Structure formats: structure tokens, C-alpha cells
Amino acid sequence: MKTIYDYNYADLETLFLSLNQKKFRADQCFQWLYRKRVSSFQEMTDLSKDLIETLSSLYCINPCECVEKQVAKDGTTKYLFQLQDGALIETVLMHYEFGESLCVTSQVGCNMGCKFCASGLLKKQRDLTSGEMVAQIMYVQKELDQESKRISNLVIMGTGEPFDNYENVMSFCKTINHDKGLALGARHITISTCGLVPMIEKFSKEHVQYNLAISLHAPTDELRSKLMPINHAYPLHQLMDSLRRYSEENNRRLTFEYILLKGVNDSDENERQLANLIRGMNAYVNLIPYNQVDEHGYKTCDAKTALHFYDCLMKNKVKATLRAKHGDDIDAACGQLRAKHERG
Ligand code: SAH
């Protein structure tokens, strides 16, 4: 059954008009869903009985069931959800000083085939609907409501390539960002892409304030093509050109994600190449410790090398952050928990 979470505010108004309802009823319904966070249509007490019946016969609210929850020592929590067709997806909640950050999944599996990533171990089965993405945040937010906590940051960095599911991801962001709903500020929403250039071009023209993060992971075509097959389709000069255009048109700072892989992309030479690629752009590099994935054989770069890489970048006039590791003691890498389940 389709979830009502699939409808962003504008779509819900259109739906209600098609059901011969006034627009303001859609507004009421939206607020029941996202402000009061009800779990059934019956709780929407200012809607007529008939309307509640109609909605219940056409839609569900929550389209997923939590089948496993792992909590790491640092509080990082990983949820494994089962969707109505049996597909399994992961969502991760991380606690930071600045608040609660949720990492959501955008596809069942992924076709990008990055050589270090657990997600690609299972090919893409399908895109998630926008409602299935909304459901991930609503499930966790409802749990946090009991502790009077609020998700303050959303990153679309779970399994899947968000720009390979562009329309649904944009609709999802609209719902989460809407001021009558969760009202999560656009600048607190980050979309991460492996670099689908045509979609970056499209995103540039939307002039929305969501943050854009690029999974770079290598400073040369030779190395990047080895790690990320997408680089064959959209090599670095095309990617960087499209990002410069995005920056100019939107006046937004970009994030480059760079996983440090021991002996692969963490040398002094790699650092200089990276600095030369990025210097002068309105951007910073987020250096990410690698969560080892047994099947791939890449190793996490040691802390000393990571710090040295970071220092050199800063000296070379590229802003960088060195991200702390989260959820090390659980299957926190993208797709790890799910891959384990699917293999049994
Ligand atoms: N497809 C999108 C979003 C999902 S991946 C993208 O490529 O950006 C989110 C981020 O996690 C990416 O930067 C990805 O390269 C990184 N990642 C994947 N596997 C990882 C692992 N095992 N350890 C650390 N980061 C990983």
C-alpha cells in the first residue's frame, strides 16, 4: 500500500482536491503527520470520518518495520528497516555536539560500484519512493520525541546514489524542509553524490539551499577511475567544471568527501594533487576514516598519516576537517548491516 508520506505539501493539496476536499484539509493532514507525528489516520480528529476512511483505504502512514537496531558504545544507532516488498534498508543516527544527525538511504542497493563500498556488494533493486525516505526520518524522530530530542541534521549518505533517484530525493527534501512539517532548515540537509554531472547541472538550476557533498576520494583520473567506475563516464575535469558552475550560480560552499585508504590515496603526492585540484574553490575537504569492508581488502589509514594529510592540506591553503569515526563497533559502513542480513 502506498504511503501518504509520498506526498509533499503541494502534492498533498493536489491529492485532496482530487478527493473533492478543500485545500486546508491537506494542510491539517500534513500537520498531523509531521507536527503531531501521528501513526494512524484515525488520530486526525479534525478530519471527517468519511475522509479518514477514504485515506485509510488508499494509504498507509508508516511503510516500514524496524527489524534490527544496533547501538554502538558512542550512541551511534543503526536501524535496519524492512519495506513492504521485503526490501531491507539502513538508517544511521549519530550524536554530535551540534545535535542529532540522521543518515538516510535513497535506494535499495546501489549501481555505482565504488570499489571500497559495502553498498555496491548488492546491486540496485529499485529506487526508494520519497515516502520511504520520509519514513526513515519519521521513525527515528518519533523515538527521539520520547527524549524531547530533535533531528537537527540530515545527510543523504546511506546506501544508494541520490542523484540516480533525483525526483524522489528532491520531493523528500521538500517535505522535510517544509515549515509546516519538520521544518528542518535547507542548510541542515546534505545531499552526497559520487558525481553524476548532468544531475549536478540540474541541481544547480534549482537554486535550493541544500548542501552538496561530492565523494571525490582521489585527486587524479587514474586513481579515481580505479576506485569509482563513475569516473569513466564523468572524468575529473567535467566534474570540477560542473561544480565550479554550481558554486558560482548558487554561492554555496561545497564539501568534498575523501576517504583515506591506507597506501592508496594517502601519500604526500596525493595530498598535493588534491590541494592543486581544489585550491581557490569555495569548498572544504572532509577527510573520512574508512570503515573496513572485509570483502574489499582496503585498509583504514592510520591516525598519524591522517593527521599529517590534514595538516599538509591546511598548509596548502585548502580547508579541511578530519572526521571522527562513529559506530566503529557496529556494522556502521554503508550497506554493511544489510549485506550481512541478505547473505544470512
Ligand atoms: N552515493 C552517494 C551517497 C552514498 S555514500 C555518494 O557516493 O556520495 C556516502 C559516503 O560514504 C560517500 O562519500 C562514500 O564514498 C562513503 N563511503 C562508502 N563506503 C564507505 C566506507 N566503508 N567507509 C567510509 N565511507 C564510506
Mean pLDDT in consecutive groups of 10 residues from the start of the chain, 344 residues:
98 98 98 98 97 98 97 93 97 93 96 90 93 98 97 96 98 98 96 98 96 98 98 98 96 96 98 97 94 88 95 97 74 58 52
User: Burial code of 187-221, b = ≥16 C-beta within 10 A, e = fewer?
Assistant: ebbbbbbbbbbebbeebbeeebebbbbbbbbbbbe
Per DSSP, the three-state class of 189 is strand
Residues 51 and 75 in one domain: no
Same domain membership, residue 9 and residue 131: no
Do 116 and 50 have their domain in common?
no
Q: Whose CA is nearest to atom 11 of ligand 1?
A: 157
User: How many other CB atoms are found less than 10 A from the CB of residue 13?
Assistant: 20
Specify the pTM: 0.95
Shared domain check, 159 and 19: no
Residues contacting ligand 1 via CB (< 6 Å): 112, 114, 116-118, 157, 161, 192-194, 215, 257, 259, 288, 290-291, 293, 333-334
β-strands 320-322, 283-289: how paired?
Answer: parallel
Q: Are residues 33 and 146 in the same domain?
A: no
Instruction: Please give the pLDDT value at position 344.
Output: 44
Indicate the top mutation candidate among 257, 292, 321 to test ligand 1's pocket, ranked by most ligand atoms within 8 A of CB. 257
- Same domain? For 146 and 29 the reply is no
326, 289 contact by CB (below 8 A): no
| Segments forming the whole domain that contains residue 76 | 64-342
Number of domains in the chain: 2
Position 337 scores a pLDDT of 57
Task: Supply the residue whose CA is at minimum distance from atom 17 of ligand 1.
Answer: 117
pLDDT score of 235: 98
Distance 96 CA to ligand 1 centre (A): 19
Residues 77 and 53 in one domain: no
pLDDT at 121: 79
Domain identity same for 117 and 44: no
Whole-number pLDDT of residue 328: 66
Yes or no: say if 293 and 227 are a contact pair by the CB < 8 Å rule. no
